[in-house]
Structure 1
Amino acid sequence: MATKKKTAPLGAKPVYKSSASLLPWFGIALVIVLLDQVTKLTVERSFAYGETLPITGFFNLIKVYNPGAAFSFLGDAGGWQRYFFTGIAVVAVGFMLYLMKKHSSQRLFCFALALIMGGAIGNVIDRLAYGHVIDFLDFYWKGVGHFPAFNIADIGISIGAVLFIMDELRRVNKS
């Protein structure tokens, strides 16, 4: 018995439905958020502000606060940046959810977005709960200086951004 293929009415846009689930991507984002929050809470409870624990000749644990964005951008802006960066992150997470739904079968793309989304949510939690982001990973090179301190959320965002670029370059090279 032959099955009839359904066609869209004239002038209607075709509807694309993805059979891929977003659940794995939500799971990855949740893992980033949980790791981020557990490590920040541990540092918050274990260190005084500015306290440093040397680990190696190029790495310390340190407790610092960042009221701004990456590299303390707008960190001394007076407080409005807390809401500004929170708003940007909320809009970005919404857009990432849309992209993940639309392209849910593209694994590397969605993996990258899940890492970025988890990191963004982790830092938003800090901004809403404390008014600043807790940073604690301090890498440095003697004689050169310290890289700005960061956290697990920042690692998720950074790795996600690199994977996103790699995915886009791969896509461009295919066409």
Structure 2
Amino acid sequence: MHKQVTNSHNSPQKRGRGLNNNQRFWWWMAFATSLVLLDQWTKQYFNTHLYYAERWNVLPFFDFTLLYNPGAAFSFLADGQGWQKWFFISIALGASALIITLLRKTPQQILFSLSMSLIMGGAIGNVLDRFQHGHVIDFLLFYWNNSYFPAFNVADICITCGAILMVLDEFLRLRKKKHEPKE
């Protein structure tokens, strides 16, 4: 009788598992951290290489620029008397705490976790600006003739893409639930 020896590292059970939920959670946290680092690096670059409101033309509809936004998206509440800084910081930190909890519970849900990581990375990137500078640094400017889209940054791109993916994830989840057989 020959006893078959199996390598526990190559067994079908081990190969099929991949990362456990704790490892997945930390992978999503590392991804969000890398987004924060990219956001902060790009903001630092443009903050040190451009004067305020200076523009570097890249394409006929796109410039790099340096603008400061004390408000939220589209300069919402930008004319506040300073209270909005702490309001936006509180919202971002609260949202990040909720996202960490959600990522801890569902790290295996790829699309949902990706959306949450993008939103958290963007939120933390903008919070760091508010703590360091009292405003958010924006440097991406799209326009056509005399019409301008508000300037934005990498953090804003992450938040926007994360929100879109979150809606897509919910749509796909509802669609799947609708097509499941009823018991």
Q: 2-side partners of 1:172 and 1:141: how far apart?
A: 38
Give, in whole Å, the separation in 1 of the partners of 2:144 and 2:169: 32
Going by fraction, where is helix more abundant, 1 or 2? Answer: 2
Tell me the CA shift for residue 159 of structure 1.
0.6
| Mapped pair 1:152 → 2:154 | yes
Q: CA deviation at 1:25?
A: 0.5
4+ aligned runs moved over 3 Å, structure 1: none
Partner of 2:125: 122
AA aligned to 1:30 is: T
Unaligned runs of 5+ in 2: 1-19, 178-183
1:6-25 counterparts in 2 under 5 A?
A: 19-20=20-21, 21=23, 22-25=25-28
Asked if 1:174 is matched to 2:183, the reply is no
Instruction: Report the residue type matching 1:168 in the other structure.
Output: E
Paired residue for 2:46? 43
- Equivalent AA in structure 2 for residue 154 of structure 1: D
Q: TM-score scaled to structure 1, two decimals?
A: 0.87
Tell me the TM-score normalized by structure 2. 0.84
C-alpha distance in 1, partners of 2:52/2:82?
A: 19
Partner SS for 1:92? helix
Percent sequence identity over matched residues? 48
Segments of 5+ residues of structure 1 without an aligned counterpart are 1-18
Instruction: Please state how far the C-alpha of 1:24 moved relative to its aligned partner.
Output: 1.2
Q: Match of 1:166, as an amino acid?
A: L
Number of residue pairs aligned between Structure 1 and Structure 2: 157
**Which structure has the bigger radius of gyration?**
2
| Separation (CA, whole Å) in 1 of partners of 2:27 and 2:149 | 33
